[in-house]
Amino acid sequence: MKKLVLVIVILMMVSCQQQKIGYVDNVKLMDDYQEKIDVEAKYKTKLEAFNKKKDSISQAFQIEAQAFQVNAQKMSQKKAQEEYAVIQQKGQFMGQQLQQEEQQLQLEGQTEMDSLVSRVKKEIKAFGEKNAYTYILGGGDGGSVLYGTDANDLTAQITKILNDKYKQ
């Protein structure tokens, strides 16, 4: 009987231990994380350069197509149709090339962002383990925290850790 009472007392003591719970506002964390800001800026710059290239190629192709239209009037119908088919093929090829290049750029950006998110999750886990948290929940848009006290908000602490590591 003493053993049973002792087991119950021990179980009650274990169950009464307070769990340490915190949360992170994912949106704010990512908005304030300098590496994410830099990655977005890098791909914005790459996208702007790509769009300039695409516009330049499109303008050159339009000039070529307009020149063809002027010259087509002087050609026989058969010759004009052949030239038109060549220009149409060239336009389709350039369009496919540009589309592939744009998709590759998007894939690179998404891959880098996925890697960044993975590193952030690892850092949050390491923070939780180091500071004896039982749970660290995700908040912000689409997060699971509907309410949390400011005392349980770990966003600023984790953002500082991430930014400090990124600076190194």
Q: What is the pLDDT of residue 158?
A: 94
Query: What whole-number distance in Å separates Cα of residue 103 and Cα of residue 47?
Result: 11
Dihedrals phi, psi of 140, to nearest 5 degrees: 90, -170
For 46-77, the pLDDT digits (tens) are 999 999 999 999 999 899 888 888 888 888 88
Q: How many domains are there within the chain?
A: 1
Q: Cα 133 from chain centroid?
A: 27
Q: Which CATH number is 77's domain given? A: 3.30.910.20
Could you list the residue range(s) of the whole structural domain that residue 49 is in? 2-167
Q: What is the pLDDT of residue 17?
A: 62
